[in-house]
A and B are shown apart, each in its own frame.
Chain A
């Protein structure tokens, strides 16, 4: 049981270190997937906005961590 818990904790740790950061990535992916097509910007724009959002999340997270 302990071994399983350790394995699951390790597996979780591969993807999530800062909960807020991971949540922001997941929420942005969901928004980009479900909401961007409704704006009818054109498929090339959707891809570019998806990438820009991820870059913004990275910048916000590292600056927030550096500040504290």
Chain B
């Protein structure tokens, strides 16, 4: 089946950016564990987590492409909206200063402190290091698997572009991690989350509408239109939230 690049371009971008955010978070934990308890166990835990995720993705992808499309688009659209609108809400509130920004350096220091308090690593496979990196990789990776399957599964031909986007992000973060050996604190995480939230909301709305049997004005071109709508509204919300938060902060002093 030929790939429709109106969708595939946005699919690759959404999967790449979302995976980038999650991979950066997982890398912070792997680096903290590796630096405090040894690289062998840390990398073994992470690699096992990646294998588990790959298995999960292959299994789910296989099952999902066999489910009837219309009802499935509605369910996937609803889940994408719950997931994407949660991300977008948080990104808006962080951009407005209502919620604190995600700080990879602080998380890195906290993880290292917590791991040091557990005592020295044992020779051979360190179970704690293995468990921590396995858990972190799986938890962050499950979000990637969900995003890839959800944005790709609305049409079977989009699963490959979505998977490629996620794989590119993983390879980029691994390469950067190997090169700098520090948490990637300079990655503008909230800007990425903002962009991903916008794209996921656009995809979720589009799939939900398709699943309900509604015709989108402009057909496939409504997808960039939806993304533009979510982007403009979210950006406009930031200064409004900032003002409201400032007013709220002053009120108790009166």
- CB within 8 Å of B: which residues of A? 10-11, 14-18, 21-22, 25-26, 29, 32-33, 36, 43-44, 46-48, 50-51, 54-55, 57-59, 61-63, 65-68
Contacts and interface: CB of A to CB of B under 8 A. Distances in A.
Interface in B212-254: 212-217, 222, 226, 229-230, 233-234, 237, 240-242, 244-245, 247-248
Given A51-B205, A55-B233, A68-B248, 20 more contacts: A10-B139, A15-B83, A17-B86, A21-B85, A26-B78, A47-B215, A47-B216, A54-B201, A54-B205, A58-B88, A61-B89, A62-B92, A62-B96, A63-B244, A65-B89, A65-B93, A65-B98, A66-B96, A66-B98, A66-B240
A50 B208 CA distance: 9
24 contacts: A14-B83, A14-B86, A15-B79, A17-B89, A17-B90, A18-B89, A22-B86, A25-B85, A44-B214, A44-B217, A48-B217, A54-B205, A55-B229, A57-B85, A58-B233, A58-B234, A58-B237, A59-B237, A62-B89, A62-B237, A62-B241, A63-B240, A66-B240, A67-B245
Interface in B80-121: 81-83, 85-86, 88-90, 92-93, 96, 98
Q: How many B residues touch the partner, as a band?
A: 35 or more
B74 interface: yes
B131 to A, nearest CB: 11
A49 to B, nearest CB: 9
B222 to A, nearest CB: 7
Interface of B is mostly: helix
B238 to A, nearest CB: 9
Contact of B208 (A29, A55, A58, A62): A29
Contacts of A50: 205, 208-209, 212, 214
B4 interface: no
Given A14-B143, A66-B245, A32 B212 contact: yes
Given A25-B81, A43-B213, A66 B93 contact: yes
B93 to A, nearest CB: 6
B142 interface: yes
Contacts of A22: 82, 86
B85 A54 contact: yes
B233 A59 contact: yes
Contacts of A17: 86, 89-90
A47 B215 CA distance: 7
